[in-house]
């Protein structure tokens, strides 16, 4: 009879969260996963010198930053975007466009 009482107490204690999930279908799993990744980052680094470096590491590893932004195109280069399993060309910059951009920036200065 003791296990039934324990299960009933667990349901009573967690009733608000259970009903909240049934009504809204929202959990804190995403936050728990992110916290787990941050803890793994902390353990793998064996600590950081200060909070600023730790924050930078979190943003670098978990921030979803694009390490190759399309704003840094060299003339004649083409950038690609992966959509599912299809690679699409979405921009190409020519030498003329690059020179026009440089000229317009010099005129504004």
* Neighbour count for residue 73 (Cβ, 10 Å): 15
Domain ranges of the chain: 2-62, 70-108
Nearest to 59 by CA among 75, 72, 48: 48
pTM to 2 decimal places = 0.47
Residue 88's pLDDT band, with cuts at 50, 70 and 90, is: very low
- The predicted structure's pLDDT at residue 31: 87
Is 105 or 57 the better-scoring residue by pLDDT?
57
Instruction: Return the bridge partners of 80, or none.
Output: 89
| Range 37-55 average pLDDT | 86
The rounded distance, in Å, linking the Cα atoms of 51 and 57 is 10
């Amino acid at each position: 009879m003791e296990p039934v009482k324990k299960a009933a107490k667990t349901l009573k204690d967690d009733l608000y969260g259970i009903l909240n999930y049934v009504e809204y279908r929202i959990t804190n799993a995403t936050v728990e996963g992110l916290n787990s990744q941050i803890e793994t980052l902390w353990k793998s680094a064996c600590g950081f010198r200060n909070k600023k470096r730790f924050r930078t590491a979190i943003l670098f590893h978990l921030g979803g930053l694009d390490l190759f932004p399309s704003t840094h195109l060299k003339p004649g280069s083409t950038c690609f975007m992966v959509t599912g399993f299809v690679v699409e060309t979405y921009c190409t910059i020519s030498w003329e466009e690059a020179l026009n951009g440089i000229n317009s920036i010099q005129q504004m200065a």
